[in-house]
Structure 1
Amino acid sequence: MDLRIQGPGPTTPFLSARDLFETEHELSLPVYVQFRDDPDERTWAGHYDDRHVLNMSRQAASSAMARELVLHELAHMARHEQEHPSHIQSTEEVLYLALAGKRVERRKLSHCYQIANHMKDIYADDITLAVGPGQKLLSFLESSLAMALADRPDPPSRPGLERLSASADPDITAVNAAFALALAERHDLVDDDHRLYDLAHVAAMDAPHVDFAGFKQRFRELARDPDASLYRQLLVDATRAYVGGEGLAAE
């Protein structure tokens, strides 16, 4: 892999992630690493005709999760080069098919994009977890869900889950919990008594009209190698399950 780190910043997590990734996969295009000064800058990958670009804050690159974050983004790059349906399907097209004729709240629409991103992440992490250990990712999922539960508006009184602010939406938190648990189960990362189950149960209780069990099953059982038509239908169905509605996607 042609890895080009631009500017001052830690290099070890990138080289370590590359070595793990290359045990089973390779990329045809070079990867340019660009460091961002904003500590809140999310880690994300851009894809171009002649290169991939991995954007990452210097703080994230120095964190305990740095190698795992880099490996995850390399997996997205691999899926993009494979032209995997999850990474080339237009989300806007799916939303048009799924929501035509419906009035949808702005927050719900943004949640639909997050659901599409979860499905992309499932397929990227099928690569990530095939080449690297999953315990750090599991801890990250657990802590992220715990923080979201603490951050949700007007939570019930539960020890250790006091509200910090009122910004976390219970509906998408329940979907996020379903994603976290589905990913963990898909790769056998959790025992039956893992704390993630307790956190997910709380999230599901806070959003009783969200089909938590259904979303967990959707994410966990995503077809390993779907064709474009099947993947589009899976995403349409997931969108309709969240906002309401049924039927087949148009071809």
Structure 2
Amino acid sequence: MDVRVLGAAAPDPFLSAADLFETEYDLEWPVRVRVRDDPDERTWAAHYDGHHVLNISRQAATSVMARELALHEFAHMARYEESHPSHTQSIDEVLFLALTGRSVERRKLAHCYQIANHMKDIYADDITLSLAPATKLLTFLESQLATAVADRPSAAGRTDWTRLTAAADPDITAVNAAFALALVERHDLVDPTHPLYDFAAVAGDDAPDVDVDAFKRRFKSLVTNPSESDYRKALVDVTRAYAVHSGSSPAAD
């Protein structure tokens, strides 16, 4: 596995992640790690003709989560190389299939991309969590959800629809909570007394139109090796459930 770090960051976390990844998996294409200055873009994987790029913010690259974040992105690359439907399905095609002829709020349309990423993350983390302890991931999920719940807009003035972070609005925060619970339950990581459940309950109360348990079941029950058509249907269904059926009101197409 060929990993090269480009930018002012120590290569150790990325090489350590590669060593751990190679105990069970491998990548045919080389990986280029590009360290970015933008702290809001934590990590993302890109795929080109014959190589992958792991984009990571300088803040993330120098954090205690650097190795775990790199391992997660390597897992995305592996799913891409194996042509797993979660990593080859076009979200634009899904939006067309799910929402044509329907009126959907612009903010919810934007959130559909985040939901699709959650489904990709489920399959990437099936790999990640088979390789590394979940301690740091649990701390990260708990921190993110706690911050989102605390940072939610007030009931009197929910006007901050331009933000696309976890705290953008209560609806997507509730779906993010469902994703976190699905991930930990899928891998039996916690018991029902874990603080994640308390934060998820608050997120659900803040978004009465979003059924947290229903979205949790959708994420948790994703089959390991779906066919292309089965995965497309699952993504269409969850997109429609969020954008159309969770309290949508008439809005711009």
Report what 1:140 is aligned to: 140
* Contact residue 149 and residue 168 of structure 1 kept, 8 A: no
Residue type at the aligned position of 1:87: H
Alpha-carbon distance between aligned partners in 2 of 1:216 and 1:7, rounded to the nearest angstrom: 38
1:55 matched to 2:48:
no
TM-score normalised over the length of structure 1: 0.91
Q: Between the two proteins, what is the percent identity of the paired residues?
A: 68
1:213 matched to 2:221:
no
Residue type at the aligned position of 1:24: E
* Contact residue 45 and residue 73 of structure 1 kept, 8 A: yes
Report what 2:127 is aligned to: 127
Report what 1:43 is aligned to: 43
Q: Which has the higher contact order (CA 8 A, sep 6+)?
A: 2
* Contact residue 46 and residue 53 of structure 2 kept, 8 A: yes
TM-score normalised over the length of structure 2: 0.90
Residue type at the aligned position of 2:103: R
Deviation string 1:232-251 (CA, Å, 9 cap, x unpaired) is 00000001111226xxxxxx
Alpha-carbon distance between aligned partners in 2 of 1:198 and 1:154, rounded to the nearest angstrom: 20
Alpha-carbon distance between aligned partners in 2 of 1:168 and 1:97, rounded to the nearest angstrom: 26
Q: Figure out how many residues of one structure are paired with residues of the other and give that number.
A: 235
Deviation string 1:54-78 (CA, Å, 9 cap, x unpaired) is 1112221110111110000000000
Q: Which moved more, 1:7-16 or 1:147-156?
A: 147-156
Q: Following superposition, which runs of at least 4 residues in structure 1 exceed 2 angstroms of deviation?
A: 37-42
Alpha-carbon distance between aligned partners in 2 of 1:100 and 1:39, rounded to the nearest angstrom: 36
Report what 1:74 is aligned to: 74
Alpha-carbon distance between aligned partners in 2 of 1:51 and 1:168, rounded to the nearest angstrom: 33
Structure 2: gaps spanning 5 or more residues: 157-166, 246-253
Aligned partner of residue 64 in structure 1, secondary structure: coil
Q: CA deviation at 1:155?
A: 6.3
Alpha-carbon distance between aligned partners in 2 of 1:220 and 1:73, rounded to the nearest angstrom: 20
Report what 2:175 is aligned to: 175
Alpha-carbon distance between aligned partners in 1 of 2:238 and 2:58, rounded to the nearest angstrom: 35
Alpha-carbon distance between aligned partners in 2 of 1:90 and 1:171, rounded to the nearest angstrom: 24
